Amino acid sequence: MRKTTTKLADGRELIYYDRDDRQLRDAPDRRPLEPTSSLAELRRDPVSGDWITVAAHRQGRTYHPPADQCPLCPSQGEHLSEVPAADYDVAVFENRFPSLDFDSAAAVRAVEDDPLHQVRPGIGRCEVVCFTADHQASFADLDEGKARLVLDAWTDRTAELSAAPGVEQVFCFENRGVEIGVTLAHPHGQIYAFPFTTPRTLKMIASADEHRARTGRNLFEDLVAAERAEPVRVVLAGEHWTAFVPFAPRWPYEVHLYPNRRSADLTELTEAERAEFPGLYLELLRRFDRLFGEGAAPTPYIAAWHQAPRRGGAELALHLELFTIRRTVGKLKFLAGVESGMDAFVNDVSPEAAAQRLREVAS
């Protein structure tokens, strides 16, 4: 892999990842851009204890541009995009409309010792990860070599961002489909470097710590072992990875992909684990696209890497959660009253039936 780091016209960082070690990336950004300014701030909800990001400047971000004006396609002729090169393998750059920014200009107005109105600048980083230069493709269309390159890019960014001052947790993810809320059609994901440990992760830590205190064992190691021992919910199993529908999923079709050997984050994966991942993951994505029958619209999904935070996550295990909000043909799972109001999920599909369906649509 060759990594080339450069700057966009407004000073944001752009990183190319290429399979060809000889590839040179020196095309300049010819756009007349003014420096960006983030006004993001973090406000703590005194009732839940959660940190909420307020980023009002994002209201003006790019929204469903026509394909010939896509900001993630390579620059060609007079079309100047976020990627100055005429082609690329994988490109990662700082989001022009970030929720978090190391140079956040937000002014902290609250008094430090006021427990009801705690505010912090939105320090952190938001990056865009372009998986391919092909506007019409999806992650599932990549070959295993390109999928491995994306994995290597995720790993490299995790290592660098985790070491940055103020970062507590790195989150790599992909939103796919307008139903999910994607505003750019080009195949891409994102990476958030949070200045706090996210609420979902804190709940996982609490469960893992309780399991350790009660059993003396690791929760995630026991979980993977139990699913492999009784594989009614296992969708795919390799030598180094296992994909299964969780016992109590929140979403109609939800799959968790774990390395069989517990790792804290992407940087701890072995070469054998990295080599096996692309084939398994691509097969999962292709099965998701076949879930609802031939001719159905592409399946909207979220793919989310859960990694241990910098502090307090010794019991956590790296894993990827893949789920769709589509529950059947032409119907979505909306987060209505009980889910949005009380965070109490109701699932319309049994996990065992979901696993069986995902086995049926194997390549």
Indicate the angle between helix axes 219-229 and 199-215, nearest 10 degrees. 80
Catalytic residue among 57, 188, 240, 256: 188
Contacts 24+ apart (CB under 8 A), 48-52: 48/199, 50/199, 51/120, 51/196
351 close to 231: Cβ distance less than 8 angstroms = no
Residues 6 or more apart whose CB falls under 8 angstroms from that of 322 comprise 254, 255, 256, 257, 284, 285, 288, 301, 302, 303, 304
Alpha helices in 38-170 (DSSP H): 144-162
Whole-angstrom Cα distance, residue 303 to residue 176?
A: 8
| Bridge partners of residue 176, in order along the sequence | 301
Annotated binding site: 70, 73, 135, 186
Annotated binding site for Zn(2+): 70, 73, 135, 186
To the query of whether residue 240 is one of the catalytic residues in this protein, the response is no
Can you read off the two tokens belonging to residue 198? 């996210």
Burial (0-12, 13-18, 19+ Cβ within 10 Å), 59: exposed
Longest dimension (CA), the chain: 63
The residues assigned a catalytic role are 188
